[in-house]
Amino acid sequence: MLFMRQTPSILCLLLSLLAINTYAQTGNFNLEDWPQTQAALKPMYVKAIMEQAGVHQVSFTKSAEFYTAELDKFAAFALDKNYRPYLKTSVAQNLATIAVIYCDWNNGVPHWEFAQKYLGEKQLELLQPVYGDAITKLQNNCGHPTNSQ
């Protein structure tokens, strides 16, 4: 009897999670939407995005909480500077940008090589004020020694 009373609540929770997962993976959830998102939902969105990246053989070592905080910081930066291209870009793409900058977009391609292709010099320069230390680390092989042949 207890299970039957909880079934609507459980079903509602599962449907909410499915909706979050679907919404997070679409291009409709932009960085400009992030600041108004309920704090309790943000980690769920981030986890859904990270899981979707995993489907494409991308892994992360940093936590969903790390990316939630970084997206908060990045959204505030983009709003302050009125960087419309970032604000109009999906949260998923902005999370990818942050992961690339922090050497945490693990897809089998060397980090700096991938950053140059994915972000390009212009974007790296634009992001320097907020991510200077991380970009320097990225440029220096993410703190990993190079194998000299």
In tens, the pLDDT along 79-99 reads: 999 988 999 999 999 999 999
Lowest mean pLDDT among 26-35, 54-63, 104-113: 26-35
* Cα distance between residue 53 and residue 40, in whole Å: 22
- When pLDDT is averaged across residues 93-116 and rounded to a whole number, the result is 96
Strands annotated E in the chain: none
**Average pLDDT for the chain:** 84
75 near 30, Cβ under 8 Å?
no
- Tally Cβ neighbours within 10 Å of residue 59: 13
30 phi, psi to nearest 5 deg: -95, 165
101 near 135, Cβ under 8 Å?
yes
For residue 28, what are its two tokens?
């409709």
pLDDT greater than 50 at residue 3: no
What pTM was estimated for this model as a whole?
A: 0.79
The model's confidence at residue 149, banded by pLDDT at 50, 70 and 90, is: very low
141 near 112, Cβ under 8 Å?
yes
CA atoms within 13 A on the CB side of 98: 30
